[in-house]
Amino acid sequence: MTARRFIDCLMILGLSLCNSVPLFAAPPELESLFPFSFQAGTTAEIKLKGKNLKNIRQSQVNAPGVSVKVIDDKNLRINVENQTPAGIYNLRLLTDDGLSQPYPVQITAWSTLTATEKSDQPDSALKLSLPGGVDARFEHTGDIDWYAFTGKKDQQITLRCRSKSLGSSAAPLMTLIAPDGEEIAFASPHQREPVLHVKLPNSGTYQVKVFNRAYSSDPSALYHLSVNSEPRLLAAFPALINSGQPNPVTIQGISLPGVSQNATQILQQTEITVDPEKWAAPHQTDSPLTNRFHLNVPELEGTVPLIITDLPVVVDQEPGNQSQKTAQKIKVPCDIAGQFLKPRDLDWYQFTAEKGQELSIRAFGEQLDQQMDLELALLDSSGKVLKSLTNKAEVKGNATPVSATSLDPEGTWKAPKSGTYALLVRDLYGSSLGDFDRQYRVRIENKQPDFQVYAYPAASDRYSGVSLHQGGHTHVTIYVDRQHGFSEPVRIQAVDLPEGLSADEAIIPAHQSEARFSIFTSKNAPQTIVPLSLKAIATVQDQQVVKQVHPQTVSRSGSFQQVATLTAGTAKAAPFNMTIKPNQAKRALGEKIELDVQWESAGSEISGKPVLKWHIDLVDAKGKQASLIKPVTSLDLKQSENILTAQLPQNVQPGQYSLWLSATLNVTPSQSTDKKQKKPKPAPFEAVSNIITLEIQPLPNKEKIQPRKKQSK
């Protein structure tokens, strides 16, 4: 079994508590919840749709002032206090068998209705308040939904249709129709989530037509339409600011405080000073790519994301950098906050570099939720193109949180000689697009070793959370993104684990990028949802660097997404568990490994011989996978202690390796006291041991195998 397959099997196990229900159901998978938007200060019921939703013990939303009560396996009741800030949060479910993945829910400042299929015709349009919103779904292929609101002449309104940012799969488009039946506004198909800003021409009843541009439907084809006339924050530039100091930022919105009203202009702009610590909204998130928080301006509805950087910020000076002759001067290293205000916008930057100086260049557009395809070009002073950076290609091999394809370019470049060079930034979608909020980021710095660390779900169980077994071990997948030649070992440690949990330090060796982190759950650990925090420690250029391990989840579209916290749930106890201890932690090539295996059963009826497997990522001198020789895979279940052995091959690359065991057995759940109930059938259950670090040392010189001499003919 490969390491990745092992983790896939592990994640399927789910969690346990106690009950006469089958022990082996998979963790819950939330496909959708409806409605998913809730006004602050209200109580509402939520209908759930998904798999393995039986025996829900707890539901939690990571927002202040929000509580959730479980009604039954298909329904929840959510209560949101008045002071809960508007924003997007995550809801999770804990069942007897595990924790679900996080599912987005939205807290709003306006009343939100729930659409029905009755609103699929113009004459049955659902009436919305102003301001107000509606949660809806595309029920079938070609579904069209109609809404109506009453507006006044010259009233300025904003219509916004959200789906992707709420974890849904719909690609909505919308049209605004005036009281006389004329279409007066249509959302651009280039917008990922359409927005319309309209000054109403007359008083009367307006209609909004919403449809899915793909004309398709699935359980997660949901969207939220809002109609707002209140003072509102819509965008901010630059959206890139330095931490620890005040930053001037221009905000864009409707009816901004202190700005005189212009009868011909709907959108307004004004400059404010932003202190990240003071202005960050409570639902701050930390993304490994953008380090974003949400700006919340008093007196204005809505928030906008701002990016925090540790490099000097260069703000795009429009329109003075439209050619190489007028290129904006920058100094490396820096972080560029760019903007495409008009279609066919080109941004030029100029910098100096020494001969042989290597730069790392990363662009962000699509990763900032923009419908954008950035392209970068490096040119010499004569205008000759030296290098172009286009779409990031997918890394070969197993998919990781950083290997997916992206329209955002990144790469490295070495200056051929000392001199002045130009950087051209353009958007390949830019022939028809340009606006205040079409912003990008380009980070330029000297190439140097670096790393980022991620914790994320296995591929086959990507829609579940981290599920802990009372009295047993659970593994979390850890991935190290090694950048620009970083090849040092990385240590993973838990930070302030909740009550009942413990974990040993894990080491990801220099020759590996993926590993597992083992968490042990005591038998009396509280049966609840808890946050986890992991840190990564490594040496970079003789300096110790400590970084947060970034938690990831996987969306229904299959892409990795950042979540605010790594969260785990503790449920029913595993029927058996193992703990391993090496007799010697250091072994030489070709020597025998001896493991002391502690075996414990929780009292369930176990039958059959255990299928026991060893898991160790051995690498030979050529970097290829190697296997242990003659590993003992038999376990005497009558004994609480066993000694297992395996032989190390002689062609393995010396170093540190992680080793653990997995065992699969047929287990019969405890029978119910109800005599009418049929006797439960045995079902396979897999448990994993703790993870140990094994240091493999090279053979002594005298024992090294000498190559055969060729015989002369």
* 506-508, strands of its sheet edge to edge: 506-508, 490-494, 534-540, 543-548
Q: Looking at 247-251, 294-298, 595-599, which range is the least confident one?
A: 294-298
CA 418 to chain centre: 41
Residue 469's pLDDT is: 83
How many CA atoms does the CB half-sphere of 559 hold within 13 Å? 15
CA distance 574 to 349: 60
Cα–Cα distance measured from residue 238 to residue 244, given in angstroms and rounded to the nearest whole number: 16
User: Residue 606 has what pLDDT?
Assistant: 76
671: its two tokens: 């029978």
- What class, spelled out in words, does domain 16-108 have in CATH? mainly beta
Whether residue 19 is predicted with pLDDT greater than 90 in this model: the reply is no
Which residue did the predictor score with more confidence, 135 or 302? Answer: 135
Please identify which residue in the block is written with the tokens 């001499």: 709
Can you tell me the mean pLDDT for 219-223? 83
Query: What is the number of H-type helices and E-type strands within the chain?
Result: 2, 58
Would you state the pLDDT for residue 279? 59
| CB of 224 closer than 8 Å to CB of 134 | yes
Residues 6+ apart with CB under 8 A from 530: 498, 501, 567, 568, 569, 570
pLDDT of residue 413: 96
How far is 380 from 384, CA to CA, in rounded Å? Answer: 6
Per-residue model confidence (pLDDT) at position 123: 87
Contact 83, 109 (CB under 8 A): no
How high is the pLDDT of residue 419? 96
Q: What is residue 30's predicted lDDT score, i.e. its pLDDT? A: 85
Q: Where are the domains of the chain?
A: 16-108, 114-228, 234-300+303-448, 451-571, 576-700
**Mean pLDDT confidence for 434-441:** 90
**Hey, do 16-108 and 451-571 end up sharing a CATH topology, with the first three levels equal?**
yes
How many Å apart are CA 538 and CA 490, to the nearest integer? 5
Most confident of 36-50, 365-379, 594-608: 36-50
| Token pair in block for residue 534 | 């992991």
Cα distance between residue 391 and residue 428, in whole Å: 11
β pairing state of 292-295 and 304-309: antiparallel
Per-residue pLDDT band for 690 (boundaries 50, 70, 90) equals: very high
Tokens standing for residue 522? 């005591």
State the pLDDT at residue 22.
Answer: 36
Question: What is the average pLDDT value for the chain, to the nearest integer?
Answer: 84
Q: Which CATH code is given to the segment(s) 451-571? A: 2.60.40
Q: Distance (Å, rounded) from C-alpha 409 to C-alpha 390?
A: 5
Question: Could you give phi then psi for residue 693, rounded to 5 degrees?
Answer: -105, 125
What pLDDT, on a 0 to 100 scale, did the predictor assign at position 659?
Answer: 92
Q: Is the peptide bond before 333 cis (omega within 30 degrees of 0)?
A: yes
Could you say which of 1.20.20.10, 2.40.50.140, 3.30.1300.10, 2.60.120.380 is the CATH number of the domain covering 234-300+303-448? 2.60.120.380
Percent of the chain surpassing pLDDT 70? 86
- Measure Cα distances from 124 to 120, 150, 211, 412 in Å: 7, 15, 16, 57
Label residue 538 by pLDDT band (50, 70, 90): very high
- Distance, in Å, from the CA atom of 317 to the CA atom of 515, rounded to the nearest integer, reads 45
Secondary structure element (H or E) that encloses residue 222, with its range: strand 222-228
Whether residue 207 has pLDDT greater than 90:
yes
Instruction: pLDDT band for 21, please (50, 70, 90 cuts).
Output: very low
Tokens of 546: 């400590």
Q: Which CATH number fits domain 114-228: 2.60.120.580, 3.40.50.970, 2.60.120.380, 1.10.3720.10?
A: 2.60.120.380
- Per-residue pLDDT at 38: 95
* Whole-Å CA distances, 348 to 328, 345, 384, 648: 6, 10, 14, 58
Distance (Å, whole) CA 316 – CA 345: 12
DSSP code at position 278? H
Which two three-digit tokens encode residue 105? 């829910």
CATH number of 576-700: 2.60.40.1930
pLDDT confidence bin for 459, thresholds 50/70/90 = low
Which residue did the predictor score with more confidence, 6 or 223? 223
What the block records as the tokens of 539 is 């040496």
Whole-number Å distance between alpha carbons of 324 and 474:
56
